[in-house]
């Protein structure tokens, strides 16, 4: 006699034809007797915790070799322009790599593949009447330019599928020789998942026993090599017979194995790649290198989707925004801040409201830097502060910021910690009196130390330095390169400052001069220069207004 639970389980097993049966969500966290276990590396503890999707919990980041950490990222399939879904993955990966490299001082060695031969590339080129290689190279060049514009650091090494074909073929041959793969009558090659004892471990999946494809030994088997289908598609000769080209999953395994061998520290990619792509990569390499764990840490970034859409941004769904379209309306820093404000492994709902929030957050940092600079240049009244409280606040900020990054790279909370520090300092430098428990002091050094820490933190995340005056040369184009726009703006601000001083000196204010000062402020604002008046002078900060950006986007749309 079946229980109700057993009856439902039996019914599901009969009616579900899928190859892979996902376990009940409550059972996804592996139990102690689960065959899918993550093996903790032996090495140096970093004090960093990183999320493990298989275990559904955070685990310690342990370095096999403290002098070198290997990181592989799945690269693009270059058959079309990159969209924001791609961009969010690579920007988030870039943020994590910068944190490890620049904040934790870990020597990362990074690699990425470029898929330059694929079904999508071949089909797109045929439909457009283009040479597939030239088309792939053109989209690759565009991808590299997009990453440069988004300030994504290039990997230490890239490798194309077409240039590593001998390595891929050798990898497949070794799997065939080891009875982990088999050749079909048409000279295609499939991986035999029944020989992989840990298959399904990344997503905690179980294999279905249904067999739906007569060519395969098991329904779950996947292609390592695709035999030639027509005379027009690109092919390479194979030692097991005939000609063909590699399947999608084998290329990353072979390329990563070429660079890093039998063990890889960190492997990154979008969450949508976890199954089947990363699952198949892990299975292939575990079979090839005769190990039960090829990658020690899988990093999966959450997918970007438009607010209101359930599905991720995808070319097949036609809901994409290209990187070029993004940068017509927003800056690379604003998009990066949007990524920082969401956990790297969570879904990222994209909207104009998200980007406005990112813009406003960036502006808070710039305004803080401008106010601090004005204070330390004595454009604001300098007064005595509570030195003990400032020291305690800075210590708390440094400690909490460090804790955030050690806790699975929680950048959203880290940004909040920095904002709290900025708010505290802003209150200090704008108050006229202080109720200090200890002997009050001017504390210019402590204020600058806090400002330096915040600026270094921002740069660590890959954002532009907060001292925008230094970067304005890059933002403004002059035909005469001998003109320094920073000095030009300083001169204009100084002239305006003298006008404002004359207009407000004496018992009677000069309304004409004040109106001229206001008009000059408005003109500068239209060109992205925000003037900030203080009691003892004025300062400025570069700030693109929302209205100006909206006008640009409307004109470009027209």
How far is Cα 60 from Cα 52, in angstroms, rounded to an integer? 10
Written as six digits, the tokens of 513 are 């001069």
Q: Determine the pLDDT at residue 432.
A: 53
Residue 32 falls inside a structural domain = no
CATH number at residue 377: 1.20.120.640
Q: Give the C-alpha separation, 237 to 251, whole Å.
A: 16
Q: How confident is the model at residue 210 (pLDDT cuts 50, 70, 90)?
A: low
Beta strands 537-542 and 529-534: pairing type? antiparallel
Closest by CA to 211, choosing from 343, 370, 363, 19, is: 19
The answer to whether position 24 is within a domain reads: no
| Tally of CB atoms within 10 A around 337 | 25
Looking at the domain assignment, is residue 23 inside a domain? no
Asked if 453 and 498 sit in the same domain, the reply is no
Please check whether residues 357 and 330 belong to one and the same domain: no
Specify which of 14-18, 161-165, 509-513 reaches the highest per-range mean pLDDT.
161-165
Q: What is the mean pLDDT of residues 366-388?
A: 88
Distance linking the first and last C-alpha atoms of the chain: 71
Question: Does a structural domain hold residue 220?
Answer: yes
Q: Is residue 530 part of a domain?
A: yes
| Better-scored residue on pLDDT, 23 or 526 | 526
> 361 and 313, same structural domain?
no
Express as a percent the part of the chain with pLDDT over 90.
Answer: 62
CA distance 206 to 225: 25
Asked if residue 34 has pLDDT above 60, the reply is no
Assess whether 246 and 198 both reside in one domain.
yes
Whether 538 and 436 map to the same domain: the answer is no
Residues 46-91: pLDDT tens digits?
999 999 988 999 999 999 999 999 999 999 999 999 999 999 999 9
Do 456 and 319 share a structural domain?
Answer: no
Whether the pLDDT of residue 381 is over 70: the answer is: yes
Domain that holds residue 129: 44-343
Same domain, 503 and 440: no
Is the pLDDT score of 97 beyond 90?
yes
Lowest mean pLDDT of 84-98, 194-208, 505-519, 539-553, name the range: 539-553
In a domain, 227, yes or no: yes
Asked whether 145 and 84 are in contact (CB, 8 A), the reply is: no
For residue 174, name the pLDDT band (cuts at 50, 70, 90).
Answer: very high
- Give the pair of three-digit tokens for residue 550: 């909206």
Mean pLDDT, to the nearest integer, of 111-121?
Answer: 96
Angle at 430 between CA 428 and CA 433, to 5 degrees: 70
Integer Cα distance of 196 and 182 in angstroms = 14
Q: Among 298, 314, 343, identify where a domain stops.
A: 343
Query: Average pLDDT of 183-201?
Result: 93
Q: Residue 246: which CATH number?
A: 3.40.50.620
DSSP H helical ranges for 377-510: 387-406, 411-430, 444-460, 468-475, 485-504
Asked if the model's pLDDT at residue 416 lies above 90, the reply is: yes
Residue 116 lies in a domain: yes
Mean of all residue pLDDT scores within the chain: 85
Question: Are 304 and 427 part of one and the same domain?
Answer: no
pLDDT band at 303 (very low <50, low <70, confident <90, very high): very high
Which of 288, 316, 343 is the last residue in one of the domains? 343
In the chain, the percentage of residues whose pLDDT exceeds 70 is: 83
Give the three-class secondary structure for 445: helix
Compute the distance between CA of residue 96 and CA of residue 107 in angstroms, rounded to an integer.
Answer: 13
Domain boundary among 461, 476, 505: 461
pLDDT tens digit string along 448-489?
Answer: 999 999 999 999 999 999 865 444 444 554 444 555 676 777
My answer on whether 147 and 240 are in the same domain is yes
What pLDDT is attached to residue 23?
33
> What local confidence, expressed as pLDDT, does residue 24 receive?
33
Nearest C-alpha neighbor of 346 from the set 413, 283, 420 = 413
Residues 338 and 356 in one domain: no
What is the mean predicted confidence (pLDDT) over 515-527? 82
Return the pLDDT at 35.
54
Tokens of 390: 């400032």
Residue 450, domain member (yes or no): yes
Tell me the pLDDT tens digit for each residue of 238-282.
Answer: 999 999 999 999 999 999 999 999 999 999 999 999 999 999 999
- List the beta bridge partners of residue 537: 534
Sequence length of the chain is: 558
Identify whether residues 318 and 381 lie together within a single domain.
no
Are residues 270 and 403 both part of a single domain?
A: no
Q: Domain count of the chain?
A: 3
């Amino acid at each position: 006699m079946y229980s109700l639970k057993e009856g439902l389980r039996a019914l599901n097993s009969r009616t579900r034809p899928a190859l892979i049966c996902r376990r009940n969500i409550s059972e996804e966290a592996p139990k102690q007797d689960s065959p899918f276990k993550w093996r903790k590396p032996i090495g140096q503890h970093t004090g960093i915790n990183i999320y493990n999707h298989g275990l559904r919990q955070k685990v310690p980041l342990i370095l096999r070799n403290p002098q070198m950490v290997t990181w592989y990222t799945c690269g693009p399939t270059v058959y079309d322009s990159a969209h924001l879904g791609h961009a969010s993955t690579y920007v988030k990966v870039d943020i994590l790599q910068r944190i490890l490299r620049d904040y934790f001082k870990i020597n990362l060695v990074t690699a990425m593949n470029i898929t330059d031969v694929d079904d999508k590339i071949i089909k797109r080129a045929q439909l457009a009447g283009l040479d597939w290689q030239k088309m792939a190279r053109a989209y690759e060049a565009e991808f590299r330019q997009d990453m440069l514009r988004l300030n994504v650091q290039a990997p230490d090494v890239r490798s194309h599928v077409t240039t590593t074909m001998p390595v891929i073929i050798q990898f497949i041959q070794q799997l065939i020789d080891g009875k982990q793969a088999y050749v079909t009558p048409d000279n295609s090659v499939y991986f035999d998942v029944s020989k992989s004892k840990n298959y399904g471990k990344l997503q905690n999946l179980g294999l279905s026993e249904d067999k739906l494809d007569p060519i395969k030994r098991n329904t779950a088997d996947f292609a390592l090599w695709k035999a030639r289908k027509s005379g027009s598609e690109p092919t390479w000769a194979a030692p097991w017979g005939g000609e063909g080209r590699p399947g999608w999953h084998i290329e990353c395994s072979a390329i990563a194995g070429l660079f890093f061998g039998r063990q890889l520290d960190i492997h990154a990619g979008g969450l949508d790649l976890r199954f089947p792509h990363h699952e198949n990569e892990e299975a292939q390499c575990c079979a090839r290198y005769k190990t039960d764990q090829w990658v020690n840490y899988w990093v999966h970034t959450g997918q970007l989707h438009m607010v209101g859409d359930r599905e991720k941004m995808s070319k097949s769904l036609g809901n994409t925004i290209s990187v070029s379209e993004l940068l017509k309306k927003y800056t690379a820093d604003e998009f990066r801040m949007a990524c920082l404000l969401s956990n790297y492994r969570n879904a990222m709902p994209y909207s104009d409201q998200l980007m406005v929030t990112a813009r406003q957050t960036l502006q808070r940092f710039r305004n803080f830097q401008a106010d601090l600079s004005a204070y330390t240049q004595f454009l604001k009244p300098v007064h005595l502060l509570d030195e003990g409280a400032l020291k305690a606040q800075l210590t708390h900020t440094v400690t909490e910021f460090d804790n955030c990054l050690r806790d699975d790279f929680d950048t959203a909370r880290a940004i909040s910690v920095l904002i709290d520090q900025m708010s505290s300092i802003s209150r200090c430098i704008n108050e006229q009196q202080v109720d200090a428990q200890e002997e009050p002091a001017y504390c210019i050094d402590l204020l600058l130390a806090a400002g330096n820490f915040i600026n270094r933190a921002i740069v660590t995340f890959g954002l532009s330095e907060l001292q925008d005056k230094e970067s304005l040369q890059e933002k403004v184009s002059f035909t005469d390169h001998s003109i320094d726009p920073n000095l030009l703006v300083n001169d204009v601000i100084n002239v305006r400052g003298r006008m404002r001083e004359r207009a407000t000196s004496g018992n009677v204010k000069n309304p004409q001069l004040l109106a001229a000062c206001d008009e000059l402020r408005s003109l500068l604002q239209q060109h992205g220069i925000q003037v900030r008046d203080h009691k003892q002078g004025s300062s400025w900060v570069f700030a693109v207004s929302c209205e100006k950006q909206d006008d640009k986007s409307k004109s470009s749309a027209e």
